[in-house]
Structure 1
């Protein structure tokens, strides 16, 4: 069994599953590398309209595989090399042009919480438990993961999560903003699939453009990326999908978008 499984869920939705249930899907260095490769590749695949990141066996991910640390993070230089790979995977998820959804059942802790935060949206259920126990392990979280936490929950909540290192239940995760959607128990993946299907049914150029603009604004890069944003707006207006949307509206039927 592969540690990461990829399958299509229909209508352009891809499900990426962390598949180490015996370790609550703790992420190995090899898995960090594969996550980076996969999510960088999705951006160039026009057939992909949305990506769901999930975990096997009732849990999302218990974080990085600490059992590897003695061998792979034995000193400052080795730790930096490890973090470069892990941060690269997180950045690939965050920067994927396709909309991304984390289906967080069970534990989404530490690095597992980080990769969930790298996704555009997070769906949980009554089993969800999330947190970042860095303060309990003598670790200082760096800017990449801390920045994702900050923009999801705000300054005060980020301080609460990092200072306390506590494990938060599903209701508290939803209240603070770690989860965007709270589904009934055991149905995080089903709810994520329903949300992904809803997104995938919309015009791909419009969704991609919205993500581009929102991310640029969130990072304070809207002015620097003005030409890129304007080009995305122009592509959407000149697209066959734009014309299809107008026809469908007049004909009182759902539009059928092709992403061009």
Structure 2
């Protein structure tokens, strides 16, 4: 039986998507993108899932980029590249537009496509041995506007240019100092760090969090294309919700609220 290259599982209120290609440092092929999108669609519709964690197996890599061994069959020319870009873009956008908070749990190499995935997540945490880089200039790949724009919003345009011009790799400390990751932990402590974040998110009001994420996505758009009316409706829904009543009661009763997203 062929080993599953993309694993989806739920642990309580947390959905997990795991890239499982450790022999190739979790490099991604077309069939893996298909599986990734399918899992995200299922998790987005699951009301029990409050947040999503994306990770890679093996401890040596989060995602090391595209599977270069498949370039001859999947990206041999401009026409094949268009097909690959369309499928991989669907994966990146499905993650970027996922309606609940997303966390990249990064161990080891986070390179190329791995950087794109991490940039599509809301939060990023890594182990001390993590390494970050965009080697497009060493491969002759075209790195388009959307990827550069999204990455530069996180680290700033000058730093993004340094990544792309030099194609060098950066340490976990450098990544933390530039704001690429929110926290760095020892190998044995990374799971606990991420579990602490997902636990806090899962306890909080889903409608409030959904509004915050939707607002963040609107902020990333040009002002002329921002949908403030949608955000206003989401805010009204928060104030009309059972969760808002529960939050007030819990505060008065000095207990933790139990939110249901309704």
Same fold, judged at TM 0.5 (above): yes
Whether contact under 8 Å (2:250, 2:257) holds in the other structure is yes
Give the equivalent residue in structure 2 for 1:76. 78
Give the equivalent residue in structure 2 for 1:142. 144
Whether contact under 8 Å (1:54, 1:189) holds in the other structure is no
The CA distance in 1 between the partners of 2:126 and 2:48, in whole Å, is 26
Give the equivalent residue in structure 1 for 2:43. 42
Residue 16 of structure 1: SS of its match in structure 2?
strand
Question: TM-score, structure 1 length as denominator?
Answer: 0.95
Deviation of the 1:204 alpha carbon: 0.4
Whether contact under 8 Å (1:18, 1:25) holds in the other structure is yes
Flag structure 2 segments of 5+ consecutive residues without an equivalent: none
Flag structure 1 segments of 5+ consecutive residues without an equivalent: none
**Which of residues 86, 97, 100 in structure 2 aligns to 1:98?**
100
Count of aligned residue pairs for this structure pair: 259
The CA distance in 2 between the partners of 1:226 and 1:250, in whole Å, is 32
Give the equivalent residue in structure 2 for 1:6. 8
Q: How does 1:103-122 map to 2 (within 5 A)?
A: 103-122=105-124
Residue 232 to residue 198, structure 1, CA distance change in 2 (3 Å): same
Relative contact order higher in (CA < 8 Å, ≥ 6 apart): 1
**Which of residues 213, 216, 223 in structure 1 aligns to 2:215?**
213
The CA distance in 1 between the partners of 2:251 and 2:127, in whole Å, is 36
Give the equivalent residue in structure 1 for 2:195. 193
Whether contact under 8 Å (1:126, 1:186) holds in the other structure is no
Deviation of the 1:36 alpha carbon: 2.0
Give the equivalent residue in structure 2 for 1:17. 18
For the aligned residue pairs, the C-alpha RMSD in angstroms reads 1.4
Residue 235 of structure 1: SS of its match in structure 2?
helix
Deviation of the 1:66 alpha carbon: 0.8
Whether contact under 8 Å (1:108, 1:128) holds in the other structure is yes
Deviation of the 1:140 alpha carbon: 2.2
Residue 26 to residue 223, structure 1, CA distance change in 2 (3 Å): closer
Deviates further, 32-41 or 72-81:
32-41
How big is each residue's C-alpha offset from its partner over 1:185-229, in whole Å with a ceiling of 9 and x where there is no partner?
Answer: 343333222211111110000000000012101223586412211
Give the equivalent residue in structure 1 for 2:65. 63
How big is each residue's C-alpha offset from its partner over 1:70-127, in whole Å with a ceiling of 9 and x where there is no partner?
Answer: 0111111110110111111001100000100000010110101110111111001101
Question: TM-score, structure 2 length as denominator?
Answer: 0.95
Deviation of the 1:175 alpha carbon: 1.1
